[in-house]
Amino acid sequence: MASPLLKICGLRDPDQAAAVAQLGVDAIGVIGVPGSPRFLGAEHRPALFGAMRAAAPGCRGVLVVADPLEQQWAQLELGQGHAVVQLHGSETPQLCGQLRSRLGCEIWKALRIRRPEDLQRAVDYSLVVDALLLDAWVPDQLGGTGHRIPIEWLQGFMPVLPWWLAGGIRADRVPGVLTQLRPTGLDASSGVERSPGNKDLDQVAALVAAVRVAGLAGPSQSRSVGLAPS
């Protein structure tokens, strides 16, 4: 069985994006949510995604936003180097569908899980997004918190869409997660950084290795789930 995909999120520096891409990750995320300590302005995103792609042409750029207002939608259009928009706020299925039609790129919807019942919301998005991303719910913070969803809540979670597990992902958690769950991909941010936005390449390399080892050791979902490089 193949390993799950791996996304490293919240980078701010093009050289670091190139280095992370060369480690063999599948996607790199940039935070476009004002107020986040990992925020990167629109004018800096093309350089970061360009460096990423020059280093590893198959690596995909993900732009993370939350509850974008209509006047901001133009900023989400292709041209900044991203192939995916990750919606990490309270976007309705209707808004996700509208953005998907308008932007012409993949849309991933983050669901922040506060209680097991929240997983049922996945069904509402199944026809209007390309993938789901599960993150822990934390009051007054949208993401990048390092908080985890209790793993027992996710047993039996098998949406029709590809799905990413986020929230406190680090190398030492990988064996425990992948023996119990089959996410399409893992998404890590604060667990692999020295300070917000500054990734620790040794921790990223350890995470890449842990994911590969877990893929060799046990059953996990295939990479061939329709997430081809752009």
Ligand X SMILES: O=C(O)c1ccccc1N[C@@H]1O[C@H](COP(=O)(O)O)[C@@H](O)[C@H]1O
Contacts of 192 (CB under 8 A, 6+ apart): 8, 170, 199, 200, 203, 204, 207
105 near ligand X, rule: CB under 6 A: no
Task: Identify which of 191, 108, 187 has the alpha carbon closest to the alpha carbon of residue 145.
Answer: 191
86/220 with CB nearer ligand X: 86
Task: Identify which of 167, 166, 158 has the alpha carbon closest to the alpha carbon of residue 122.
Answer: 158
Three-state DSSP state, 179: helix
Q: Which residue has the tokens 């093009």?
A: 14
Touching ligand X, residues 112-151 (CB under 6 A): 133, 135, 142-146
Asked whether 64 and 39 are in contact (CB, 8 A), the reply is no
- CB of residue 138 to ligand X, shortest distance in Å: 9
166 near ligand X, rule: CB under 6 A: yes
- CB of residue 29 to ligand X, shortest distance in Å: 5
Span of 11-19, 91-99, 163-171, 175-183 interacting with ligand X by CB under 6 A? 163-171
What one-character DSSP code corresponds to residue 141?
B
88 near ligand X, rule: CB under 6 A: yes
81/143 with CB nearer ligand X: 143
Strand partners, 113: 136
191 near ligand X, rule: CB under 6 A: yes
- Chain residues that interact with ligand X, rule: CB under 6 A: 9-10, 29, 31, 33, 36, 38, 64, 66, 88, 133, 135, 142-146, 166-169, 187-191
